[in-house]
Structure 1
Amino acid sequence: MKYQTITGLLAVTLLFGCSSSKKVVPDVPPSQLYSESQESLQSGNWETAISKLEALDSRYPFGAYSEQVQLNLIYAYYKSDDLAMASAAIERFIRLNPTHPQMDWVLYMRGLTYMAQDSNFMQSLFGIDRSDRDPEPAKSAFADFKKLLERYPNSLYAKDAEKRMFALKNRLADYDLATADFYLRREAWIAAINRCQEIQKTYPDTEAARKSLEIEAKAYKKLGLTKAVQRTEKLIQLNPEI
């Protein structure tokens, strides 16, 4: 039954993807085209907005609206979940406008785009824990939000970026914990201990750091290191589960 449900969802997705096609944008003055794209953005009609903005970008690459068109495209791509195009648009904008006054927003959007890339469809849909998935997008998102806070501490997006960094820190710590557990199950005791100690050093204020003590203690027991076991078990007692 579950297989049929998943198959049905994927079929609907494929049909939707195949049925969508970009509309032909009339050759109208740039001011009118820009105004229409703004209306589409404000109404959340991302597909139409993207069509008009792309037309503006290709027809008038050095026009009066050029920079704002590029910024709007970043936002529209992101909102339409076209993360590959959003990333490409961001990198292009940074390359062409490295000192733009809205660079804090661009960094913020790049962080959001990386976070969206890190999300997992099956996890979101069925609540399956996939802490072991590739952490690179999460690391990149964390780096961008950190850069935003360092360069633009008074930015309107700084507070939200800080909150997202906290969530990302837990996500990265959980990944390392899953790796430590994998080493433990594979009887790679030293590798498990090293990863646990790295979690405790890098993410000391996370739940993963507390849980890593239990894995570390098990690995020490397997190695017959009695004093290390006792020391780790004492740390576990000092850091009880909340």
Structure 2
Amino acid sequence: MARPGAGLIRAAAALALIAPLAACDTISSFNPFDKSETYKPEIVPEVPAEQLYNDGLGYLAKNDYESASKRFASLDRQYPFSSWAKKALILQTFANYSNRQYDDAIANGKRFLALNPTSPDAAYAAYLVAMSYYNQIPDVSRDQERSEKALVALQEVVQRWPKSEYAEDARFKLNVVRDQLAGREMTIGRYYLQRRNYTAAINRFRNVVSQYQTTNQIEEALSRLTEAYLALGVVQEAETAAAVLGHNFPDSPWYRDTYKLMQSKGLEPRENEGSWISKAFKSVGLG
């Protein structure tokens, strides 16, 4: 006697054999190509490295920095280990910088330095990186992350390539960046001083005196320190701040105002050489 459902099992098995054939027929019906056609891959002729390089130079000569960057990028992709790629990368960095694509210039400049640390063009690559940060420095009311990165990058140019043609300009711009960072500290310090948060104000003015003694902000910082210390009753530090200000900047309007403030309290500028203020100035040959 046949088992119950045996007929159904045989029918299902027969359908299982037919289904793949039907599926294949269904899939083939969606083929977008005509049955008589065959796929022929398009072969793009390779552009020689020298031609890509010269094309890039041509675009640079026309100040078409966008096209120049694309040409040099193509060269780098197609011939990554060639001498042409090395030249193309530094020129691509320059093209990005000239086109104000500063983030791209930073990335390509850093890549060049990583691949070619001893190259004669390394100083130039580092300088382009530093200038890309420098040109993005915001005003003192905003976050100064780019200023801090510019400071580090410019210091690298001066320290690693002190005799390069870029070192002198890097030194000048270092002073500008330091003054910017000091200005930011002063802005915040004044904010706290106006609200009589003297401890917070002192911390900001202290940063200027400790880190940015050669900037244009130093005279005001010492004067404000005197004011804040007097408000807290820390007389010895106030006297020291006033004395250091008078010793280093005797003709400063800030010193004249500070001296009047001291006299109004019955005090005189008097330096305590154990003070952090005195030590900060002596550490850089001032005071």
TM-score scaled to structure 2, two decimals?
Answer: 0.65
8 Å CA contact retained: 1:189, 1:219: yes
Deviations 1:17-73 (A, max 9, x none): xxxxxxxxx963322221111011122111111121122222222233110110011
Residues 110 and 125, structure 2, Cα contact 8 Å, conserved in 1:
no
Task: Determine what percentage of the aligned residue pairs are the same residue.
Answer: 27
Distance in 2 between residues matched to 1:50 and 1:241, nearest whole Å: 52
Does residue 133 in structure 1 map to residue 152 in structure 2?
no
Task: Tell me the CA shift for residue 135 of structure 1.
Answer: 2.1
Tell me how far apart the structure 2 counterparts of residues 186 and 90 of structure 1 sit (CA, whole Å). 45
Distance 1:206 1:84 in 2: 28
- Name the CA distance, whole Å, in 2 between partners of 1:164 and 1:63: 35
Matches within 5 A, 1:20-39: 28-39=47-58
Over 3 Å counting, the alpha-carbon distance change for 1:222 and 1:38 in structure 2 is same
CA distance in 2, matches of 1:232, 1:61: 59
Query: Residue 185 of structure 1: CA displacement?
Result: 3.2
CA contact (8 A) 1:210 1:239 kept: no
Q: Work out which of the residue numbers 162, 165, 169 in structure 2 matches 1:160.
A: 169
Q: Is the 8 A contact 1:60 1:66 kept in 2?
A: yes
Could you tell me which runs of 5 or more consecutive residues in structure 1 were left unpaired when the two chains were aligned.
1-25, 121-129
Matched, 1:102 2:111: no
2:61 to 24, 28, 42: 42
Deviations, residues 116-172 of structure 1 (Å, cap 9, x unaligned): 222x3xxxxxxxxx3132222222222222222222221111111111112112111
After TM superposition, give the deviation of residue 233 of structure 1 in Å.
4.5
Partner of 1:23: none
The letter of the residue matching 2:125 is V
SS in 1 for 2:104: helix
Structure 2 residues not aligned, in runs of 5+: 1-44, 255-287
Q: What corresponds to 1:185 in structure 2? A: 194
- 1:211-234: CA deviations, max 9, x gaps? 112322332233234454455445
Aligned residue among 179, 197, 206 for 1:170 = 179
Instruction: Give the conservation status (yes or no) of the 8 Å contact 1:104–1:157.
Output: yes
Partner of 1:87: 106
Q: Tell me, yes or no, if the aligned pair for 1:131 and 1:174 is still in contact at 8 Å.
A: yes
Aligned equivalents of 1:76 and 1:39: distance in 2?
12
The amino acid across from 1:65 in the alignment is W
Between structures 1 and 2, the one with greater helix share? 1
Paired letter, 1:113: S
Q: Could you tell me which amino acid in structure 2 is paired with residue 60 of structure 1?
A: Y
Structure 2 SS opposite 1:117: coil
| 1:57-90 Cα distance to aligned partner (Å, 9 max, x none) | 2222223311011001111111111111111112
**Pair member with larger Rg:** 2
Aligned residues: 207
2:136 equivalent in structure 1: 117
Residue of structure 2 aligned with 1:143, choices 128, 134, 152? 152
